[in-house]
Amino acid sequence: MTLTQEGRHLVNDDPEMVLHAAQSSDLPDVHCMGLYAVLGDHDFITILEAPDNEAAARFSLELGVKVGLEIQTVPAIPVSRLDHRIEWPPGGQDTPSSSDPEEGEA
C-alpha cells in the first residue's frame, strides 16, 4: 500500500489512522493478520485472511478509500500447499548443460 497525497495528510494528522481503518473493516469474513510499515516502493504491507480474492479486493478498496492509499493486492499461497510433483522446469524444457555455451558466448 502506498499513501496518496491525501493519505499522507490524513496520516500526518492521525498516525494510527491506517491501523484503525484496517481493524474496523465492515467485512466480517476478512481479518487483518498484520500491518507493517515498510521502506521502499510501498509504505505499508497488510497481511489478510480472506475467503477469496474478491473479499480481499473489497477490503483493499475500502481501506484505500478510507485512508487515501493506492493498493496492490498480491494473493499468496503457503509453500506447504504447493504440489511437489509440479513439472520443473516449466514446459519440460531442459536446463542448459555445462557443455552449452554461456549466454553471450559464441
The DSSP result for the chain, as a single string, is: -EE-HHHHHHHHH-TTHHHHHHHT-S-TT-EEEEEEE-SSS-SEEEEEE-SSHHHHHHHHHHHHHHHTEE--------GGGS-TT--SSGGGPPPPPTTSPPTT--
Q: Please tell me the pTM assigned to this model.
A: 0.66
Mean pLDDT throughout 53-60? 93
- Burial of residue 68 (CB within 10 Å: 0-12, 13-18, 19+) is buried
Residue 55 has pLDDT above 70, yes or no: yes
Top pLDDT among 7 and 77 is at 7
Residue 47 has pLDDT above 70, yes or no: yes
Mean pLDDT throughout 46-62? 93
Assign a CATH topology to domain 2-76: Alpha-Beta Plaits (3.30.70)
The tens digit of pLDDT for each residue in 88-102 reads 666 666 655 555 555
